[in-house]
Amino acid sequence: MLHGPLHEISLIEVLQLLERGGRSGHLRVVGSDSGIPRTITLSRGRIVDLVPDADDANVSLALIRRHLAAAEDDAVYGPAGVPDAVRHATREQLATRALSQMFQWTRGRFDLAEAADPSGPLDWSPDAVVIAFVRREALRFDLAQTLEDFHAVPDFVPPDAGSSHPGYLRLEADDWRVLDAVDGVRDVAAIADLLGEAVEEVGERVGQLTSAAILELHPAIRDVATEARLAIEAGRHDEAISQLEQQLATRPDDGEAWRLLGLAEVGAGRFDRAIAAWQAWAGAGAQRADEASALLGAAHTMMEALRETRD
């Protein structure tokens, strides 16, 4: 069995080696920044599957979240009725995004269990995936410059201002979903977060919609969340806590403020208060329920470890 730590050899290099050797099997990868092990299935060096990120259940969930399918039990409009090509494209997007994250892991380990010629829904050369990864990173870097680190705020061009634009537009499903999330308050990063999509993909759409004079970009608003985030990053936890508590006094449904409050409390070493904040976040309808649950689990663990040390 081939195995090793990711701090000695990156996942990219592992995949390239396996491709050159034409190896087949299931590569189990655990990153220290994620508790969920991933399994990449390889057939003669080519990537043919990635679970759980791109398995059938996650593809169906993504189709529903993207408004391309109704609930699972809807016989006509549910995920089962979505054309194979659309399902496949969605699977590829999920797999690409997951691999892009995994390529950046510098801790964790991999274990290859060899298997005879396994099959799967994908058929990618690892080199091609790496090129796609580099393209995404380059795009993210470029867009961060033009979109103020993704904090620029898109809003609709006033109805009369864009009327002289020549020719008809062609909008795609992703464009419509971005337009649906635009409210003149959320920045690009917040829109990506709301949609559960990669920020560079949303940023690229926003750029195109701006070029088409549908949207216009406003400078980043330094709101409470941004200020608090900066204070946390600079280690000024009490300052961040004060700002966030003021915000929550008037807007107790502000999930992001609860999330940040938990982070600031952890920074200040008060895990019990962090747990309370993240419970409130989960209660305020956290978009990323798994993240809320993971953070709560981590805070409990840290608190218990601290208690044991004190005892």
- Under the binding rule (CB under 8 A), the answer on residue 208 touching other proteins is no
Burial classification of residue 207, based on how many CB atoms lie within 10 Å of its CB (0-12 exposed, 13-18 middle, 19 or more buried): buried
- Under the binding rule (CB under 8 A), the answer on residue 156 touching other proteins is yes
In sequence order, the 6+-apart residues with CB closer than 8 A to the CB of 136 are 96, 100, 198, 200
d(CA 230, CA 247) in angstroms, rounded, equals 16
- Under the binding rule (CB under 8 A), the answer on residue 10 touching other proteins is yes
Other C-beta atoms lying within 10 Å of the C-beta of residue 194: 16
- Under the binding rule (CB under 8 A), the answer on residue 285 touching other proteins is no
Residues 159-178 contacting other proteins, CB under 8 A: 159-160, 162-163, 165, 168-177
- Under the binding rule (CB under 8 A), the answer on residue 216 touching other proteins is no
Residues 61-80 contacting other proteins, CB under 8 A: 66-70, 76-77
Quick one: 195 or 231, whose CB is closer to other proteins?
Answer: 195
At how many degrees (to 10) do helices 271-283 and 289-310 cross? 160
At how many degrees (to 10) do helices 126-146 and 84-102 cross? 80
Q: Which residues pair with 27 in a beta bridge?
A: 40, 112
Residues 26 and 74: beta-carbon distance below 8 Å: no
Smallest distance from other proteins to CB 202, Å: 15
Smallest distance from other proteins to CB 282, Å: 23
Quick one: 163 or 309, whose CB is closer to other proteins?
Answer: 163
**Site map 228..257 versus other proteins, x via CB under 8 A:** ------------------------------
DSSP 8-state secondary structure symbol assigned to residue 100: H
Query: What are the CA-CA distances from residue 80 to residues 15, 74, 177, 188 (Å)?
Result: 32, 9, 22, 32
Using alpha carbons only, what angle is made at residue 221 by residues 295 and 268, rounded to the nearest 5 degrees? 35
Smallest distance from other proteins to CB 279, Å: 28
Residues 109-138 contacting other proteins, CB under 8 A: 124, 126-135, 138
- Under the binding rule (CB under 8 A), the answer on residue 16 touching other proteins is yes
> Token match 């904040």: residue?
277
- Under the binding rule (CB under 8 A), the answer on residue 195 touching other proteins is no
Part in contact with other proteins (CB under 8 A); list of ranges 88-96, 187-195, 218-226, 241-249: 88-96
* Size, binding site for other proteins by CB under 8 A: 52
- Under the binding rule (CB under 8 A), the answer on residue 43 touching other proteins is no
Query: What are the CA-CA distances from residue 240 to residues 106, 149, 245, 298 (Å)?
Result: 30, 21, 9, 21
Smallest distance from other proteins to CB 82, Å: 7
Q: Rule CB under 8 A: which residues touch other proteins?
A: 10, 12-13, 16, 66-70, 76-77, 81-83, 85-86, 88-89, 92-93, 96, 124, 126-135, 138, 156, 159-160, 162-163, 165, 168-177, 179-180, 214
